[in-house]
Amino acid sequence: MSRTDMNRMGTRIAGFGHHAPDQVVTSAEIERRLGLAEGWIAGRTGIHARRVAAPHEAVSDLAVAAADMALADAALPKGAVGLTLLATSTPDHLLPPTAPLLAHRLGLTSSGAVDLTGACAGFLYALVLADGFVRTTGRVALVAAANILSRRTDPRDAATAALFADAAGAIVLAPSPRADAGVIASSLASDGSAYDLIQIPDSGSRLSASGLTSGDARMVMRDGRTVFSRAVAMMASSCRTALEDAGLAPEDVIHFLPHQANARIITAVAERLGIGPERTLSSVADFGNSSAATLPFTLSALRATRAYGEGDVLLLTAAGAGLTGGAAVFRF
Contacts of 180 (CB under 8 A, 6+ apart): 10, 331
Catalytic residue among 18, 19, 255, 259: 259
- Rounded Cα gap, residues 259 and 251, in angstroms: 20
- Concatenated DSSP letters of 153-197: S-TT-HHHHTTB-EEEEEEEEEEES-TTSEEEEEEEEE-GGGTTS
Cβ contacts of 231-234, under 8 Å, gap ≥ 24: 231/261, 231/265, 231/319, 231/320, 231/323, 231/325, 232/265, 232/268, 232/269, 232/272, 232/319, 234/189, 234/191, 234/319, 234/323, 234/325, 234/326
**Catalytic one of 120, 147, 239, 255:** 120
SS3 117: coil
What is d(CA 71, CA 16) in angstroms, rounded to the nearest whole number?
Answer: 8
Q: Look up 147 and say whether it is catalytic.
A: no
The question of whether 239 is a catalytic residue gets the answer no
CA 46 centroid distance within chain: 19
The alpha carbon dihedral of 303, 329, 252, 309 has a sign of negative
Annotated catalytic residue, options 147, 239, 262, 289? 289
Write the DSSP symbol of residue 120. Answer: G
Q: Which residues contact 184 (CB under 8 A, 6 or more apart)?
A: 246, 329, 330, 331
18 is catalytic: no
- State how far the alpha carbon of 85 is from the alpha carbons of 115, 118, 143, 319, in Å: 6, 12, 5, 19
Provide the annotated active-site residues.
Answer: 120, 259, 289
